[in-house]
Amino acid sequence: MRRWIAVSLFLVSVASPLLSDQLTLKNGDRLSGAISKSDGKTLVIKTDYAGDVTVKFDAIESITSASDLHVEMGGKSAVGPVTTSGENVVVATKTAGPVEAPRSAVTVVRSPAEQAAYEKALHPGWGEGWTGGVNVGFAVTRGNSETKNLNIAFTAVRKGSKDKLGLYANSIYATNDLSTASPHTTANAVGGGVRYDRDFNPRVFVFVNADFFHDQLQSLDLRSIFGGGLGFHAIKNDATTLDLLAGVNYTHEGYASFTIPPDTFVPAISRSLAGATVGDEFMHKLGKSTVITQNLYFYPDLTNTGEYRGTFNFGTVTKINKWLGWQNSFTDIYASAPPEGKKKNDILLSTGLNFSFAH
């Protein structure tokens, strides 16, 4: 019985390397495990003894895979066990036989698990693929001053291989609770919107958007902006993105009636406008923990030439851990033709905690 156990253990030890993917490096080192993925520049192999090991693709002398891999090379796709022959990569497909191409032509290698994840990312369900965060800030004073303020912001983005859906909402509310204060409400602004992008090619995309704003102190009941146009990915990489946008929009806004002390009555205003849309959206990662975002939208009025509106947003989020961070945001909303007695500029500055999520 012991002899059979010893023989079984010997066979397992001999068969294990044969059932693993094998890499031989140009310096003579060998790695055994399961090939996970490659982008043609580096290759990741999962080993039992060192976890994921990343190897430069041009440092590999030979590859032998025990299981099927998905390979893209020279505009062709092939699935099967992979070997190397000199400077060529050979994929032993089940239907078309061996498919061979130079190593320099290989752009993608994926294991079945990585391929399944990639295909799912191309066509996620509507409840999948979301990332974003919630910002919360709160302050209260009592004693010589009696104030409180609350600011909340929400962002969510769902990215596909060729499209992107983004949602946002933000609000800031502040009061002066002293009995002598007038007005008691010192800030009450709410905004939100949605935008959908669809890529035509790696650089050019089309977008449609809807944005909504309310500002009690400006007597703005609601401003609704519906627009669309073309965009250009000026910069697009993992660390930095810059999109430039241009298009047209339809705006409807309504202002409530109010009285300017001592007794000047300003009637309610309701108007619809056609306008142009020009803007940019910028994101940059500072190291591993901080992300900077900035966007600027300029809306020249095509109905009343010479009038215009604009919004500018700048924010930072610094991660404390995987789901918690510290955020700062600055917003400037400008309207060149507000109702009589109202200021053209509204500036909102907030800071507080950021709770991030991914699904």
pLDDT digits (tens, 9 = 90+) for 31-78: 999 999 999 899 999 998 888 999 999 999 999 998 899 999 888 899
User: Using CA atoms, how far apart are residues 1 and 9, in angstroms rounded to an integer?
Assistant: 13
Q: Please compute the mean of the pLDDT values over residues 77-104 and round it to a whole number.
A: 91
For residue range 188-240, what is the model confidence (pLDDT) as tens digits?
Answer: 999 999 999 999 998 999 999 999 999 998 899 999 999 999 999 999 988 99
Supply the pLDDT for residue 311.
93
Burial of 150 (0-12, 13-18, 19+ CB in 10 A): middle
- The answer on pLDDT for 350 being more than 60 is yes
Contact (CB, 8 A) for 57 and 37: no
Strand partners, 287: none
Q: What is the pTM of this model?
A: 0.71
Supply the pLDDT for residue 12.
37
Supply the pLDDT for residue 196.
95
For residue range 290-313, what is the model confidence (pLDDT) as tens digits?
Answer: 999 999 999 999 988 889 999 999
The half-sphere exposure of 213 on its side-chain side, counting CA atoms within 13 A, is 21
- The answer on pLDDT for 325 being more than 90 is yes
Query: How far is the first Cα of the chain from the last one, in angstroms, to the nearest whole number?
Result: 52
Supply the pLDDT for residue 9.
40
180 pLDDT band, cuts 50/70/90, is confident
- The answer on pLDDT for 7 being more than 50 is no
341 pLDDT band, cuts 50/70/90, is confident
Supply the pLDDT for residue 210.
96
Supply the pLDDT for residue 3.
53
Long-range contacts, 54-57 (Cβ 8 Å, 24+): 55/23, 55/25, 55/31, 57/103, 57/106
For residue range 112-159, what is the model confidence (pLDDT) as tens digits?
Answer: 999 988 887 777 777 777 899 999 998 888 888 888 999 999 999 998
For residue range 242-281, what is the model confidence (pLDDT) as tens digits?
Answer: 999 999 999 999 999 988 888 888 899 999 999 999 999 9
Strand partners, 297: 279, 311
Ordered by where they begin, the domains of the chain are 2-117 (2.30.30.100), 130-358 (2.40.160.40)
